[in-house]
């Protein structure tokens, strides 16, 4: 009887572990393994995917016979990539990479505020891409990313290894 209880307990624990959600994200400990240019490249790819999804949504919406399955798939894709931008901005840059600075150091503080403002702008624009198919939001998001890269990296060209 005790062996059966141990077996059932083991099966229950294995089932519990197997059904637990898996988290795929960069750790929030200072491990030193960061690739900031890659994160910016990922944001740029997500913007391009959102743009393509918007164009597909517009095209599918004007068809004589609307393929709702495809329409829903493109809407879902657009929203998922906007979420990915928001995750990189908030969980990577805001949480891990942008460090607060002393307000007394005017130059560093101005740079800090500029980076925060640009990241916040990117969050808002990513949200707007979920609400509409207005390609102006894509243009503004690309511009905000360019301005953030300039503020974050400076005016030097950043290259990363593949």
* Position 3 in a domain: no
* Position 40 in a domain: yes
- Domain residues for the domain of 41 are 34-153
Query: What CATH number does residue 139 fall under?
Result: 1.20.120
Helices and strands in the chain: count of H runs, count of E runs:
5, 0
For residues 129 and 93, is the Cβ–Cβ distance under 8 A? no
Percent of the chain past pLDDT 90, that is, above it, reads: 73
Q: Note the pLDDT of residue 109.
A: 96
The residue with tokens 């307990």 is: 9
Give the other-Cβ count within 10 Å of 139's Cβ: 13
pTM of the full structure? 0.77
Q: Angle at the Cα of 156 (from 153 to 159), degrees rounded to 5?
A: 80
Q: Indicate whether 127 pLDDT > 50.
A: yes
Q: What digits encode the pLDDT tens for the residues 90-103? A: 999 999 999 999 99
Give the other-Cβ count within 10 Å of 115's Cβ: 19
Q: What digits encode the pLDDT tens for the residues 52-67? A: 999 999 999 999 999 9
Q: Indicate whether 8 pLDDT > 70.
A: no
């Amino acid at each position: 009887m005790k062996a059966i209880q141990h077996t059932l307990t083991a099966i229950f624990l294995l089932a519990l572990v197997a059904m637990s959600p898996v988290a795929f994200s960069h750790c929030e400990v200072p491990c030193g393994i960061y690739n900031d240019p890659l994160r910016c490249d990922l944001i740029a790819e997500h913007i391009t995917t959102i743009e393509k999804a918007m164009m597909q949504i517009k095209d599918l919406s004007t068809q004589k016979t609307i393929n709702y399955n495809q329409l829903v798939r493109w809407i879902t894709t657009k929203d998922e990539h906007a979420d990915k931008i928001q995750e990189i901005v908030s969980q990577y840059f805001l949480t891990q990479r942008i460090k607060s600075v002393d307000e007394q150091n005017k130059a560093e503080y101005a740079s800090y505020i500029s980076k925060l403002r640009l990241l916040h702008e990117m969050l808002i624009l990513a949200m707007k891409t979920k609400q509409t198919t207005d390609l102006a939001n894509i243009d503004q998001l690309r511009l905000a990313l360019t301005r953030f890269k300039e503020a974050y990296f400076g005016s030097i060209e950043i290259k990363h290894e593949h």
